[in-house]
Amino acid sequence: MENTHEFLEYAADAVVVGAGHAGCEAALALARTGMNTALLTLNLDSIAFLPCNPSIGGTAKGHLVREIDALGGEMGIVADDTALQIRMLNVGKGAAVQSLRAQSDKNAYHREMKRVLENTKNLRIIQAEASEILVENGKCTGVKTSYGGIITCRAVILCTGVYLNGETITGHVVQKSGPNGFAPATYLTESLIKLGFQVRRFKTGTPARLDGRTIDYSKCEIQNGDTDIYPFSFMHDQAPKNKLPCYLTYTNLTTHEIIMENLDRSPLYNGVIQSTGPRYCPSIETKVVRFKDKERHQIFLEPEGADTLEVYAQGLSTSMPHDVQRAMYSSVAGLENADIVRYGYAIEYDCIDTLDVLPTLEFKKVEGVYTAGQINGTSGYEEAAAQGLMAGLNASLKLRGLPPFVLRRDEAYIGVLIDDLVTKGTDEPYRMMTSRAEHRICLRQDNADFRLTEKGKEVGLVTEERYQRYLQRKAKYEELLALLQTRVPQKECAEFLSRYGYGEPNGSVSYSDMLKRSIPLKDIMAEYGVFHEYARDVLETAEITVRYEGYLKQGLEIIERAKRLEDKLLPADIDYSEIKGLRLEAQEKLNRIRPFNLGQAGRISGVNPADISVLMVWLSTRKS
Task: Return the domain boundaries, the chain.
Answer: 7-205+349-458, 209-348, 464-558, 568-623
Q: What is the pLDDT of residues 278-329, one digit of tens each?
A: 777 889 999 999 999 999 999 999 999 999 999 999 999 999 999 999 999 9
For residue 473, the one-letter residue type is: R
C-alpha–C-alpha distance, residues 95 and 108, integer Å: 31
**The pLDDT of residue 437 is above 50:** yes
**The pLDDT of residue 276 is above 90:** no
The alpha carbon torsion through 254, 258, 261, 265 (nearest 10 deg) reads -160
Measured at the CA of 430, the angle between CA 194 and CA 94, to 5 degrees, comes to 155
Average pLDDT score over residue span 467-476: 98
Supply φ then ψ for residue 475, to 5 degrees.
-65, -40
The reported pLDDT for the residue numbered 1 is 46
User: If you write DSSP's letter for every residue of 359-422 in order, what string do you get?
Assistant: TTSBBSSSBTEEE-GGGGTB-SHHHHHHHHHHHHHHHHHHHTT-------TTT-HHHHHHHIII
CATH match of 464-558 with 3.30.230.10: no
The residues that bridge with 176 in the sheet, in sequence order, are 167
Stronger pLDDT, 244 or 4, i.e. the higher one: 244
Nearest to 197 by CA among 160, 152, 247, 167: 160
**The pLDDT of residue 3 is above 70:** no
CATH match of 568-623 with 3.60.10.10: no
C-alpha–C-alpha distance, residues 547 and 518, integer Å: 7
**The pLDDT of residue 226 is above 70:** yes
pLDDT band of 451, cuts 50, 70, 90: very high
Nearest to 210 by CA among 302, 286, 281, 296: 302
**The pLDDT of residue 413 is above 50:** yes
**The pLDDT of residue 412 is above 50:** yes
pLDDT band of 264, cuts 50, 70, 90: very high
Domain 209-348 identical in fold to domain 568-623: no
Pairing between β-strand 345-352 and β-strand 209-211 as defined by DSSP bridges: unpaired
Report yes or no: 193 and 199 within 8 Å, Cβ to Cβ. yes
**The pLDDT of residue 193 is above 60:** yes
Q: What is the pLDDT of residues 367-380, one digit of tens each?
A: 999 999 999 999 99
C-alpha–C-alpha distance, residues 300 and 246, integer Å: 7
Nearest to 369 by CA among 197, 128, 200, 145: 197
C-alpha–C-alpha distance, residues 37 and 157, integer Å: 11
Least confident of 252-266, 381-395, 596-610: 596-610
Query: What is the rounded average pLDDT for all residues in the chain?
Result: 95
Percent of the chain with pLDDT over 90: 87
Fold of 7-205+349-458: FAD/NAD(P)-binding domain (3.50.50)
Supply φ then ψ for residue 559, to 5 degrees.
-60, -40
Report yes or no: 215 and 338 within 8 Å, Cβ to Cβ. yes
**The pLDDT of residue 126 is above 70:** yes
The reported pLDDT for the residue numbered 185 is 97
pLDDT band of 566, cuts 50, 70, 90: confident
The reported pLDDT for the residue numbered 4 is 52
Average pLDDT score over residue span 421-426: 94
Q: What is the pLDDT of residues 331-374, one digit of tens each?
A: 999 999 999 999 999 999 999 999 999 999 999 999 999 999 99
C-alpha–C-alpha distance, residues 451 and 507, integer Å: 37
Report yes or no: 253 and 332 within 8 Å, Cβ to Cβ. no
Average pLDDT score over residue span 450-472: 98
CATH match of 209-348 with 2.40.30.260: yes
CB-based burial of residue 435 (10 Å sphere; 0-12 exposed, 13-18 middle, 19+ buried)? exposed
**The pLDDT of residue 205 is above 60:** yes
The reported pLDDT for the residue numbered 275 is 83
**The pLDDT of residue 72 is above 60:** yes
What is the C-alpha radius of gyration for the chain, rounded to an integer number of angstroms?
A: 26
Average pLDDT score over residue span 500-518: 95
Q: What is the pLDDT of residues 591-609, one digit of tens each?
A: 999 998 988 998 998 888 8
